[in-house]
Amino acid sequence: MIDFQTTPETYSHWRLEIDGPVATLIMDVNETEGIAEGYELKLNSYDLGVDIELYDATQRLRFEHPEVKTVILTSGKDRVFCAGANISMLGSSSHGHKVNFCKFTNETRNGIEDASVFSDQRYICLVNGTAAGGGYELALAADYIMLIDDGASTVSLPEVPLLAVLPGTGGLTRVVDKRHVRKDRADFFCTLAEGIKGKRALEWKLVDELVPRSKLLETAQERALEFAKNSARPSDGVGIKLRPLKREIVGNEINYKTLSVDLDREHALAEITILAPSEAPPSNLEGIHELGDAFWHLALARELDDLILHLRTNEPEISTWGFKATGSADFIEAGDKLLLEYAEDWLIKEITLFLKRTLKRLDVSSRSLLSFIEPGSCFTGTILEIVLSSDRSYMLDGSFEGSNVPPAKLRITGMNLGPLPMCNGLTRIETRHLNDKQAVELIESVKGRDLEAEEADELGLITFIPDDIDWEDEVRLAIEERASYSTDALTGMEASLRFVGPETLETKIFGRLSAWQNWIFQRPNAVGEEGALNLFGTGKQANFDKKRV
Amino acid sequence: MSTIDYSEKIPNNVNLSEDRRLQRALEKWQPAFLGWWDQMGPESSSNHEVFLRTAIDVSAKGWAHFDMVKMPDYRWGIFLADKEKDRKIGFGNHMGQDVWQEVPGEYRSELRRLIVTQGDTEPASVEQQRYLGLSCPSNYDLRSLFQVNVEEGRHLWAMVYLLHAYFGRDGREEAEEMLLRHSGDVDKPRILEAFNVPTEDWLSFFMFTFFQDRDGKFQLTSLAESGFDPLSRSCRFMLTEEAHHMFVGESGVGRVVERSAQLSAEHDTLEVGRHGGIPLAMIQKWINFHFSICLDLFGQEKSTNAANFYSMGLKGRYNENKIEDDHLLNNDGFLVPDLQNGKVIMSEISALTAINERLRNDYRDDCQKGVDRWNRIIEKANVDFKLTLPHIAFNRNIGTFQDNDFDLEGNLISAEEFAANKDTWMPNSKDREFVKSLMQRVVEPGKMAGWIAPPSRGIQGKDIEYEYVILQ
C-alpha cells in the first residue's frame, strides 16, 4: 500500500531549511530509495515517493510557516537540477500507475502555483544545473525561474524526441499559456533533446533571470527577500502543527475523525460518510488558531485529501464513490461562517484554499461520484460542494416510512458562492447552471435556509428525488448499473461532462494535455515492443509506426 | 570580395576558399580564438620563436612542416583525413549503409553533443597548462609543451570547423561557448571535471599527456568509427597529432622514472628527494591520482547515451572493425564491475549499454603497457621497485564505485579509512610543494633540470642541444 502521509523528519529526498521569511526546499534525491523496486533515481529523477514528500513540504510551508513568504526551490546536486520523472520507473509501471502518478504530480504543481497566487507564498526556482523534462516542468510551476549561466546547463522538454511521449506534467501548457513562449519557438524547444541554455533561454522567456555560478544562492536570496517585501503573510504569525492523521484501515472499513468508509467490493463501491462536527466551532478566530489541525473544516480537508489519494492509488477497482453525510448542519454552517468572516486571516485563508484544492482533487478523480441525501444527513455549505461535484445525486423526498427522522435537507452557505471555485474558475453552482444567471441568483437567494427535496430539485441542485417507496431500488440500480459499464468510457464521459465552461491552464492540463498523454501512453510508438519509452535505457532504437492517426 | 588568402592563413583541405558560409563563420570566430589564446594560452610566450610542426597536408609523408614560429602566428589549420572510397557505416542500426556526408536530421543534437563534449576538452588542457612554461625542465621540454598546446588549439579548430560547417546557427553558438567556458572558472567551467583542475607541475603535465591524452586517443578512435564521415575523417587526422602528445607523456614520465631510478641506484636509497630527484613512491602517487580521475572520463559503466550513440552509428568501439561480432550488439552481454555485499564482482549487462566500460577496459590495458615500459627502466637500473595502476574502484567519482571508498587493491573500506590513507595514496599538499620546489626553470639549450633524464634524441633530426625555443 502506498501511503501519502509523511513528515519532514523522515524525508529521504528533500531538505527544508527555513531562515526567516525565506525557505529553501532542496531536492536531493536518494538514488536507492525509490518507492518501488527495479530502478535507481539517478540525477535527481523522481518517482511518486519523491513527489509525496514534495507535496508534504508545500503543505507544511503553508500551515506551519506563516512567516515564510518566499520559497526557493533548488537542487542539492552539483550540475543537475532535476532530470524529471524516472524513465525506468515509467517504463516498468502499469498504465494506471503512470496516469495516477502524473495526476498527483500535476496537482502538486498546481498547488505550488496556488501558493504563489493566493497565499502570497511565492516560489522561486533556482535551476542550478540541467533541468530536463519533468525537472523543467517543476521549475515551470514556480513564479520565477532563475537559471545558472554556466555555459552548459540547459532547460529542456525532451520527451518528444527522446521518449515519444509528452511533457505531460503541465510542460507543454505552461510554456505557452503561462510563460507566453511563442508557439513556434515552443515547437522548436520541445523537439530539442538537449534543450536551451543561457541567453536564448532568457530571450525566449523560458526563464526569468540568468545567474552566474558563483552567485547562485546569494542572488536567489536577494530576489527572495525582494518578493517577501510585498507578501501579505504575517511575519509574526505562529504556525499550526499538522500532526499525523488518525486513520484506521480494518478489512473493508476506513475510519478517520471526519469520515467513515465502507468498501463494497461486490459493487465496486466506496460508501463514504462525512461525519459532521460533534460540537459547535469556537466562537472566534483565536479559538480556531488554538484548535489548529483539530478544527473540523481543516481536519475534513486533510482527511478527505488523504482518502482520495488512498482510494485512487490503492483501490483502483473501487470505481464508484458514494457520498453520504450525517450530523449537525448547524455546526457545519457555523464553521463556514467563521471561514467567511475571517477570510483575511492567514490560517483561515489556508484552510479555505486547502478545501478548494481538495474539492478540485475530487473533481479530477477518475471515479464515478454519486451522492445520497437521506434524512439525518447534513449536506451544508462546504460539504454540499461534494453533492454539487457529483455526477449524479439522489435525495429522498420526504421521510422513510415509520421513521421519525425529519426529511432530508440541504443548505447553501456563502462557501457555495465563491470561495471554492473549480479548476474552470467557476463555482460548482455556476458550472451546474452554465450561463444561467437567473438560476444562480435564485440559489443565492435561498442561502442559509433548509431546502427539502422538492425545492432542491426545482433549484436544480440535485438529480433525482425518489420517495421512500422507490428509493431503495433507484439507489441500487444506479450503483449496479454504474458498475456494469466500461470504466474507461465512464472516465472519459465524466471528465467531459464535469468541466463545462471556460478553459483555464488547469482544465487544459487535466483535459487536453493529460488526455493526449494518456493516449500516447497506450500507443505502440511509446510502449510497444519497439516503442521509445519501452526501449529507453537499452540503447536500442525505437521503430515507429509512421502512420498519422 | 574577400581579400584573405584562406589557404595561406588557414591551411586546409576542406575547400575553404570556396565555401562562403564557412568563411563567414570562421572570420568571426578567428579573432575570438586569437583573443582567447592571448588571454588563456601559454603565459608570456607570444614573442618566443618556437620550433613547431604545422600540419599542412594529410598525406602520410610530409603532412607536417617544421619551422621557427611565434605561436600567435601558428597557422591553425583544418584538415580531414582523406576520404575513404565507398566507406560504409560499420556498426549499429545503419550498418552497411553509405556513411553520411551531411548530418542526418534525426541525430543532429546527439552529434552536436558529442562534438561539443570532445571539443571542450581541447582548449581546456591549454588553459590547465598555461603557467607550465615558467617552470620547464629544459628548452626541449618547453618546445614539447608548446607543440602540444598549439595542436590542442588546432583540435579545437577541427571541432569548431564541424560545428560551423554542419550545425548552422546552433553550431556557431556552441563554437563561441567553447571560448567562453574556462578551465576551473567558477561561473563557466569546462564540461568534464578532470579538465577543471590546473596542471601545476611538470610531473602532472607528463601524467596528463600520458593519461588524459590517452583518454583522448580512445575517444577519438571511437569517434573515427562514426557514420558521420566528416567527424570520422577529422578525428582520424587528429589522432596522428595526438600520438605525439602521448609520446611526450610516456617519454616524459619515463625520463623522470629513469632519473629517479638512477639516483636510487647511485645513493642506494629510494628516498631520492634530498638528492634532487622525485622518489619512485611519489611518482606512484601521481599515477594513482591521474589514472583514477581519467577512468571517470569514460562515464557510467551502464550508459544509455553511449548505447544510443552506438546504435545510431555515431560513435563506435575502439577498433570497431577489428572486433569479430555482429556490430549490432542487440543480443550480446558484457561483464561490468558491480558491488555486491562489499565485494567487487562482475555482472553481465547488455553489451550495448556497456560500451563505456568496454572502452575503459581497452584504455586500462593500454595504460598498463606504458607502466610496464617504465618498470623496465627501473629494472634496468637494478632498483627494486615496481609501478602499478591502482584498482579501477579506487578514488572514483562516477559510476558503480562513486559512493564507496576502496583501497588501491579494490577492497571496500570505510570513509574514515580512506580519509586516513588518502595522503599516502595520492599527492598531498606536502608532496605537491616538494615537486613544485624542484621545478626551477631551465631553458638553456641542452641543459636538463636535475629531476629528469635527457631525452634519447632531439626533434626532427636536430640535436638535443638545439635551441628549440628562442626566448624573447
- Tens of pLDDT, residue by residue over A50-80, are 999 999 999 999 999 999 999 999 999 989 9
- Tens of pLDDT, residue by residue over A314-357, are 999 999 999 999 999 999 999 999 999 999 999 999 999 999 99
Cell of B285: 602517487
How many angstroms separate the Cα of B272 from the Cα of each of A50, A121, B285, B384, B429?
A: 56, 66, 15, 14, 19
The C-alpha atoms of residue B51 and residue B197 are separated, in whole angstroms, by 28
Which residue on chain B is closest to A199 by alpha carbon? B173
The pLDDT of residue B2:
45
Report CA dihedral (A111, A117, A122, A128) to the nearest 10 degrees: 60
The C-alpha atoms of residue A137 and residue A230 are separated, in whole angstroms, by 26
Residues 48-67 of B with CB under 8 A from A: none
A373 pLDDT above the threshold of 70: yes
What percent of chain A has pLDDT above 90?
Answer: 94
The C-alpha atoms of residue A41 and residue A90 are separated, in whole angstroms, by 12
Is A151 close to B308, i.e. CB distance below 8 A? no
Cell of A387: 453533492
Cβ pairs A/B, distance under 8 A? 57
- Domain with residue B401: its CATH number is 1.10.620.20
Is B188 close to A192, i.e. CB distance below 8 A? no
Identify whether B103 is part of a domain. yes
Pairing verdict, β B49-55 and B469-470: antiparallel
Q: Strand pairing partners for A19?
A: A22
Name the least confident of A57-61, A469-473, A539-543, B449-453: A539-543
Q: Strand pairing partners for B463?
A: none
**ipTM of this complex:** 0.78
Where are any strands of DSSP class E within A141-243? 144-148, 154-156, 196-197, 209-211
Question: Are the beta carbons of A70 and A121 closer than 8 angstroms?
Answer: yes
Considering the four listed CATH numbers 3.40.1160.10, 3.40.50.720, 3.90.226.10, 2.40.480.10, the one that applies to the domain covering A8-229 is 3.90.226.10
Is B312 close to A541, i.e. CB distance below 8 A? yes
Pick from A541, A543, A546 the residue to mutate for testing the B interface (most B CBs within 10 Å): A541
Cell of A490: 465512464
Is some CB atom of chain B closer than 8 A to the CB atom of A438? no
Identify whether B1 is part of a domain. no
Question: Are the beta carbons of B71 and B146 closer than 8 angstroms?
Answer: yes
What mean pLDDT value characterizes chain A?
Answer: 96
User: Which segments of chain B have a pLDDT < 50?
Assistant: 1-2
> SS3 for A516?
helix
The C-alpha atoms of residue A414 and residue A424 are separated, in whole angstroms, by 19
Residues 317-346 of B with CB under 8 A from A: 329-330
What number of other Cβ atoms are within 10 A of residue A418's Cβ?
12
- Tens of pLDDT, residue by residue over B132-155, are 999 999 999 999 999 999 999 999
Long-range contacts of A434-439 (CB under 8 A, 24+ apart): A434/A500, A434/A501
What letter would DSSP give residue A501?
A: S
The pLDDT of residue B1:
39
Pairing verdict, β A410-411 and A392-395: unpaired
Identify whether B403 is part of a domain. yes
Residues 152-191 of A with CB under 8 A from B: 152, 161
The pLDDT of residue B231:
96
The total number of structural domains in chain B stands at: 1
Is A540 close to B311, i.e. CB distance below 8 A? yes
Measured in angstroms, the CA of B394 and the nearest CA of chain A are apart by 21
The pLDDT of residue B79:
86
Q: Which residue has the higher pLDDT, A3 or B64?
A: A3
Is B187 close to A150, i.e. CB distance below 8 A? yes
CATH topology of domain A248-485: 2-enoyl-CoA Hydratase; Chain A, domain 1 (3.90.226)
Per-position b or e across A50-87, b if 16+ CB within 10 A of its CB: bbbbbbbbbbbbbbbbbbbbbbbbbbebebbbbbbbbb
Is some CB atom of chain B closer than 8 A to the CB atom of A11? no
The pLDDT of residue B170:
87
Question: Are the beta carbons of A413 and A429 closer than 8 angstroms?
Answer: no
Question: Are the beta carbons of B383 and B261 closer than 8 angstroms?
Answer: yes
How many angstroms separate the Cα of A77 from the Cα of each of A14, A212, A315, A487, B305?
A: 11, 17, 36, 42, 20
Residue range of the domain that includes B420: 6-470
Ramachandran category for residue B56: left, alpha or beta (phi over 0 → left; psi -120 to 50 → alpha): alpha
Domain spans of chain A?
8-229, 248-485, 496-535
Q: What is the mean pLDDT of residues A473-501?
A: 94
What percent of chain A has pLDDT above 70?
Answer: 100
Band (A190; pLDDT cuts 50, 70, 90): very high
Residues 189-228 of B with CB under 8 A from A: 189, 191
The C-alpha atoms of residue B205 and residue B125 are separated, in whole angstroms, by 10
Which residue on chain A is closest to B120 by alpha carbon? A152
Measured in angstroms, the CA of B344 and the nearest CA of chain A are apart by 18
Question: Are the beta carbons of B278 and B257 closer than 8 angstroms?
Answer: no
Burial label for B198, CB within 10 Å (0-12, 13-18, 19+), is middle
Closest CA to A527 of A512, A514, A544, A515: A544
CB contacts of B304 in chain A (<8 Å) are 536-539
Identify whether B357 is part of a domain. yes
The pLDDT of residue B4:
61
The C-alpha atoms of residue A30 and residue A39 are separated, in whole angstroms, by 12
Question: Are the beta carbons of B91 and B118 closer than 8 angstroms?
Answer: no
